[in-house]
């Protein structure tokens, strides 16, 4: 998601939720085992004794890991903001390397907002896994805020323009 407002809505809902609603959301997201319980029971019913024992041990190991993770809980830095980041995301038509494409404006501000949300999601225990992709695979981003005037993707393939 390029727009931090969409990320915020995905994490906290379309409107800001109360702490009780956030805790309920955490509980719903917490257990992998609970989310597959119906499938687990269905498979378990069709297994022989030895395989049932293996599956039960596996489920027990997963539950133990989940309990250990629960002990960490919500970090004291979980301070839910009053609303989504106020970052203006604009996609504009542009021309890169002689070809028309779409460019995102405000790249540095968007990146900071995304990282802030990344940290917030971890601190509030809304997720334990996250990834950041700074741009598309064929990034047309120009990092002008760093004093660079060439397109990121093309620079990554042009040895003469790489900075050491």
Write the pLDDT tens digit of every residue in 84-103: 888 888 877 877 767 777 77
Residues 111-138, mean pLDDT to the nearest whole number: 82
Q: Domain total for the chain?
A: 1
- Residue pair 87/113 in contact (Cβ under 8 Å)? The answer is yes
- What is the residue range of 151's domain? 4-161
- Residue pair 4/89 in contact (Cβ under 8 Å)? The answer is yes
Q: How confident is the model at residue 46 (pLDDT cuts 50, 70, 90)?
A: very high
Element (H, E) at 41: helix 37-45
Residues 103-132, mean pLDDT to the nearest whole number: 84
The pLDDT of residue 54 is 92
Residue with tokens 């890991």: 65
What whole-number distance in Å separates Cα of residue 91 and Cα of residue 145? 17
What whole-number distance in Å separates Cα of residue 42 and Cα of residue 135? 42
Q: Kindly report the average pLDDT of the chain as a whole number.
A: 77
0.85 exceeded by pTM:
no
Q: How confident is the model at residue 79 (pLDDT cuts 50, 70, 90)?
A: confident
Upper half-sphere CA count for residue 117 (Cβ side, 13 Å): 27
* DSSP for 85-124, written as a single string: -----EEEEEEETTEEEEEEE-HHHHHHHHHHHHHHHHHT
């Amino acid at each position: 998601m390029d727009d931090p407002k969409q990320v915020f809505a995905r994490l906290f809902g379309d409107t800001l939720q109360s702490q009780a609603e956030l805790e309920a959301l955490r509980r719903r997201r917490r257990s992998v085992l609970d989310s597959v319980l119906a499938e687990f029971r269905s498979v378990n019913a069709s297994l022989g004794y030895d395989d049932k024992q293996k599956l039960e041990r596996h489920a027990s190991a997963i539950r133990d890991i989940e309990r250990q993770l629960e002990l960490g809980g919500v970090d004291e830095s979980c301070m839910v903001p009053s609303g989504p980041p106020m970052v203006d995301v604009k996609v504009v038509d542009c021309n890169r390397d002689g070809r028309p494409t779409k460019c995102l404006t405000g790249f540095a501000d968007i990146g900071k907002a995304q990282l802030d949300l990344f940290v917030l999601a971890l601190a509030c225990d809304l997720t334990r896994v996250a990834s950041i992709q700074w741009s598309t695979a064929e990034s047309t981003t120009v990092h002008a805020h760093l004093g660079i005037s060439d397109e990121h993707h093309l620079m990554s393939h042009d040895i003469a323009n790489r900075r050491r």
